[in-house]
C-alpha cells in the first residue's frame, strides 16, 4: 500500500532543514520498519513550505501501527535530533491503491 504524506512547515528555513537533513535520515530508518521511500519533494510554490513524500508499506501491514512503532523508536528520535518538531504545523496522509496499469503497482 502506498501513502502520500504532506508536511506543512512553519517557515522556508524549517522546510529546507527538514527536506535536506531530517527527512533523508528517515529513509534508512523507515526501511528497517519495512517502509520503502519512493521519493520526497518540496512544493513548487515556495510560499507553501510543504514537503511531499511517497512511501510504501509492506503487504498486509497496518500503516497506523507501523507509523506509531516508528515514531516511538530510537531511530525516529535520532532522525529528528536537532529539529524543533513544533516547526511541523500540519501532516496530511493519503493512502493509495495503484491502478491496474500503474508503473508502481
Q: What is the mean pLDDT of each run of 10 residues along the chain (105 residues)?
A: 97 97 97 97 92 96 97 97 97 93 82
Q: Give residue 24's pLDDT.
A: 96
Q: What range defines the domain where residue 47 resides?
A: 2-96
pLDDT of residue 37: 98
101 assigned to some structural domain: no
The answer to whether position 25 is within a domain reads yes
pTM of the model: 0.91
- Domain membership of residue 22 (yes or no) is yes
Give whole-number Cα distances, 21 to 1, 83, 85, in Å.
Answer: 26, 9, 14
Asked, for residue 103, whether it belongs to a domain, the answer is: no
If one counts the domains in the chain, the total is: 1
Cell of 78: 535520532
**Domain harbouring 58, CATH code:** 3.30.70.100
Amino acid at each position: 500500500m502506498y501513502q502520500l504524506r504532506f508536511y506543512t512547515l512553519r517557515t522556508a528555513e524549517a522546510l529546507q532543514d527538514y527536506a535536506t537533513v531530517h527527512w533523508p535520515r528517515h529513509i534508512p530508518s523507515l526501511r528497517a520498519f519495512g517502509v520503502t521511500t519512493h521519493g520526497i519533494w518540496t512544493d513548487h510554490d515556495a510560499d507553501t513550505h510543504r514537503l511531499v513524500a511517497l512511501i510504501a508499506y509492506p503487504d498486509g501491514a497496518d500503516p497506523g501501527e507501523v507509523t506509531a512503532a516508528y515514531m516511538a523508536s530510537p531511530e525516529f528520535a535520532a532522525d529528528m535530533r536537532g529539529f524543533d518538531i513544533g516547526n511541523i504545523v500540519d501532516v496530511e496522509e493519503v493512502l493509495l491503491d495503484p491502478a491496474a496499469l500503474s508503473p508502481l503497482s
